[in-house]
Structure 1
Amino acid sequence: MNKKVISIIVPCYNEEEMIPLFYDEINKISQTMDTVLFEFIFVNDGSKDGTLKKFKELANKDTRVKYYSFSRNFGKEAALYAGLVHAQGDYVAVMDVDLQDPPELLPEMYRLIREDGYDCIGTRRKDRAGEPVIRSFFARGFYKLINRISDTEIIDGARDFRLMSRQMVDAILSMTEYNRFSKGIFSWVGFETKYLEFENKERVAGQTTWSFWSLFKYSLDGIVAFSEVPLALASIVGFLTFGVALVLALFFAIRTLLFGNATSGWTSMVVIVLALGGIQLLSLGIIGNYLGKTFLETKRRPIYILKESSESNIFDKKGAEKNE
C-alpha cells in the first residue's frame, strides 16, 4: 500500500538564523513517523538576508525539500497561499519557522485526523505568557470584536499551525481573493476541526517581523474581509447623529426665543461642528477601506510572483513564469 504524503508549508521572511534549527527539529519528527512520507515546502517572501541560500543548501542535501522564492515581499498570506498551491501531499500542514509552533505535536495531529475522521487539526495557545501586555490586550479585544460582528468564528489564540485534509486544502484554494485573511478562511470553508492546546513558546532565534502596527493593519484586514458590520455601523452612527442634530437645533431655537442672546452658544456650536466633521471623516474612512479592498480585487493582480524555485520549466498559474 502506498504511503500517505504530508506536505509541510513554511513561509519565511528574513529567517536565515531559524531555518537550520527548524529543519533539524522537523526532520527529527519526520523520522519518527515512518508510516508517511514528507515534503518540505519553504516559501521565501522576498527576504533580504541569506534565507534563499539556506533553502538551496537544504534542497541540495534533502530531496524532500522544495523552495519557492518571490520577486519581492508579498506578505505572509501570499506565502501561505503559494505553499498551498504547490503542496502535493494527501495532508497539508502550515507551520511558522520560528519554532513557536511545536513540531512534536505533528504525530498526534496526524493520528487524530486519520483515526477520528477530522478534516483539520488546528492548534491554539493556552495563554499568552511572554507576550507584551499591550499586544495581548489588543489581541484579545480583536477576537472578541470580530466574533461579535462576523458570522465566521475565529478561535482566540488559534495559530496558523494546522494539519488539513486534501479536500479542505482544495476548498481553500478555490478562494482566490487577493485580500486574504487565512484565519478567517480556514474557518469559513467549514469542515470538522479539532484544536490542540499548547503552552506559548518564545522564538528560539532571530526577531519577529510582526510589529504592533503590522498586526493592527492585519486585524483591520480581517474585519473588512469577514464582516460588513462597520459599514452598517457608519450608517447607524450617521442616522443617530442626524437625530441628535435635529434635537439640538430645536433646543437652541427654543432657548433663543425664550432667553435671547443667541451668540452665547458659539462654543457649543463649534464643538458640534467638529464632532460632526469627525464622524463624517470616520464614516468615509470605513467606506473607503471597503472600497479600496474592492478596487484591489477588481484589478485581478496575481497574489504573488515567483522569481525562482527548486523546480524548473513549470508555469505557475497564480504567479508568473519561473526562470529557466
Structure 2
Amino acid sequence: MKKISIVVPAHNEEKNIAALVSELYKLFSNLAYDFECIFVDDGSKDNTLNEIKIQTEIHPEVHYVELARNFGKDQALQAGIQMATGDAVITMDADLQHPPQLITEMVKYWEQDYDVVYTYREKTNAHAKTYQKVSSKLFYKGLNMLSDIQLEDGIADFRLLDKKVVQQLRQLNEYEIFFRGMVKWVGFRQIGIPYNPAERLSGEASYSFFKLFKLAINSIMSFSVKPLYMVTGVGIVFSVGSLLYIPYIIISYLLHINVSGWASIIATIAFFGGLQLFVLGIIGMYLGKLFMQAKQRPSFIIRSANFIKTDYDLVKL
C-alpha cells in the first residue's frame, strides 16, 4: 500500500490542531493509502506544541518536529519534507483554509502520473482583509513580471509532490528558499486545480504587509536578475539623455548667456543622487543574499522531535 505524508507547518495554531487531525483521519479512512502527518512547530508562542504532542500520543501516524525558533513558513516546510517518508508528500496549512477533501482529487491526478498537483484560489479570498487581497495581487503580478517563473494568482502551499520531486527539493541548499517558486522551477509534470479557501477555523494570519513585502523582494531576487538589468537600462537612458544637454551648454557659452536656476540644478542633483542610491540598494540586496548564502548556515534548527531520521528512514525515539 502506498504511503502519503502530510506536512503541516504550524505557528500559533493551538485551536486548529485537533480539528485538522480529525478531518485527516476521516478522509484517509475512505482512501486506500497509509499516511503519516508531520506537524512542524515553527517557534509557536502559544500551546501549539503541547496540542500536537497530545495528538501524537493518541494517533501513531502523527509526528512532530519542534524548531528552535521561528524560522519562517518555507523553512518549516523544508524541515517537514526532509522528514517525510511517503511515496508522495502533501503540504498544507493548519488553519483548515485548505480543504482536506481536496486531497482525494489531488491523489487522483497523482495516480494519473502527475508529479506535482498544486492548488490556486479560484476566487478572491472573501475572508481575507483588504490589504491582504491587494498585496496578494501586487505580489504575484510583480513576481511574474520581474522573475523567470510564472505563478498563478493565489497559488497556495497546498500541493502534492511525488517522491522523485521531493528528492530534488531535498538537495537544494538555498538559505532563503521560496517553495512556491521552487516547485515551479524544478519542473516535472505539473497540474493546477482551483479551490475556494474556507474561513480560518481559529486565530489570525501571521503575515503582515511588511512580511509580504520582504517575501516579494526575496522571491524576485531568488529567481531572476531582471532588476539588475532594469537599473542598468535606466542608467544607460539617463547617460544618453545627459549627452543631449551638451549642445545647450556649448551654445550658452558661445553666446555668453548667463544661466540662472540654482533650484533646478539642486533638484537635478538630488534626483540623480536618489537614483544612484536606489541602484546601489538593489545591487546591495543581491550582494547580501550572496553573503548569507556563503555562510552556509542551516535553514532551520530542530530543537526536538518524536522521531529522528537517518538516511531518510524513521527511527522511533
Into which bin does the TM-score normalised by the smaller protein fall?
A: over 0.9
Pairwise CA distance, 1:245: 2.6
Following superposition, the deviation at residue 184 of structure 1 comes to: 0.8
Check if 1:309 corresponds to 2:299. no
Distance 1:133 1:68 in 2: 34
Contact 1:241 1:276 (C-alpha < 8 Å) held by counterparts: no
Query: What's the CA shift for 1:315?
Result: 6.6
State how far apart, in whole Å, the 2-side matches of 1:110 and 1:54 are. 28
Choose which of 167, 182, 187 in structure 2 pairs with 1:185.
Answer: 182
> Following TM superposition, by how much is the alpha carbon of 1:140 offset from its aligned partner in structure 2, in angstroms?
2.1
1:222-275 C-alpha deviation (Å, 9 max, x unpaired): 10000100011121111222222332354345345446232x221111111011
Paired position in structure 2 for 1:18:
16
**C-alpha distance in 1, partners of 2:247/2:96?**
64
- Counterparts of 2:110 and 2:49 in 1: how far apart (Å)? 33
Letter in 1 for 2:5: S
Q: How does 1:34-183 map to 2 (within 5 A)?
A: 35-114=32-111, 116-130=112-126, 131-183=128-180
Counterpart amino acid of 1:292?
A: G
Q: CA deviation at 1:5?
A: 0.4
**CA-to-partner distance for each residue in 1:37-80, whole Å, 9 max, x for gaps?**
11000001111111111111011111101100011111111100
* Residue of structure 1 in register with 2:293 after alignment: 297
Distance 1:99 1:238 in 2: 48
Which whole-Å CA distance do the structure 2 matches of 1:248 and 1:173 have between them? Answer: 56
Mapped pair 1:195 → 2:169? no
| Residues in 2 aligned to 1:132 and 1:205: alpha-carbon distance in whole angstroms | 15
Which residues in structure 2 correspond to 1:281-292 (within 5 Å)?
281-292=277-288
1:106-147: CA deviations, max 9, x gaps? 011111211x21111111101113233343233223322322
Match of 1:321 in 2: none
Residue identity matched to 2:303: K
SS of 1:238's equivalent in the other structure is helix
Corresponding residue for residue 320 of structure 1: none
User: Is contact 2:125–2:133 with CA below 8 Å preserved after alignment?
Assistant: no
* Matched position secondary structure for 1:108: helix
The gaps in structure 2 that reach 5 residues or longer are none
The residue type equivalent to 2:13 in the other structure is: E
Give the partner amino acid of 1:20.
Answer: A
Structure 1: runs of 5 or more not aligned: 318-323
> Within 1, Cα distance between the matches of 2:131 and 2:22?
34
Alignment match of 1:244 (pick from 216, 229, 241): 241
Distance 1:6 1:255 in 2: 78
Give the aligned partner of residue 29 of structure 1.
27
Structure 1 CA distance for aligned equivalents of residues 98 and 245 of structure 2: 56
Give the structure-2-normalised TM-score: 0.93
SS in 2 for 1:175: coil
CA RMSD after TM alignment = 1.8
Cα distance, 1:49–1:278 mapped onto 2, change above 3 Å: same
Alpha-carbon distance in structure 2 between the residues aligned to 1:46 and 1:258: 73
Q: TM-score, normalization: structure 1?
A: 0.91
Which residue is equivalent to 1:265?
Answer: 261
Q: Does the 8 Å CA contact 1:127/1:199 hold for their aligned counterparts?
A: yes
CA distance in 2, matches of 1:256, 1:272: 20
Kindly tell me: are residues 21 and 248 of structure 1, through their superposed partners in 2, closer, same or farther at Cα, counting changes over 3 Å? farther
Using the alignment, how far apart are the partners of 1:259 and 1:25 within structure 2? Answer: 85
State how many pairs are aligned: 312
Say which SS state the counterpart of residue 304 (structure 2) adopts: strand
Q: Does 1:275 align with 2:250?
A: no
1:161 Cα offset (Å): 0.4
